[in-house]
Amino acid sequence: MPISEELRDVYLKFECPYCLVPVVHKGSWFKVISNFKCAGCAENVRIGYADKLVFFEQHRQRRNEIAKDAR
């Protein structure tokens, strides 16, 4: 299952699993990275493909709910 292109240019928020510091980048950044160093706790955070699928789907659903409520 491929990661959706729908959120490529949308800013998404990911919380560090170690210290909960938010990391905000466009979807395209999250799509290509596999790990990053957290600015809050300096831990190396790995985001695997399965995690990315869940992450993007959660953001897609949230975005659809907001659009639905705006109608």
* pLDDT tens column, 17-71: 999 999 999 999 999 999 999 999 999 999 999 999 999 999 999 888 887 787 7
pLDDT for the residue 14: 96
Q: Where are the domains of the chain?
A: 11-70
E-strand stretches of 21-62: 22-26, 35-37, 44-46
Residue 44 forms beta bridges with which residues?
37
Residue 47 φ then ψ, to 5°: -125, 105
Residue 65 forms beta bridges with which residues?
none
* Residue the block writes with tokens 């210290």: 19
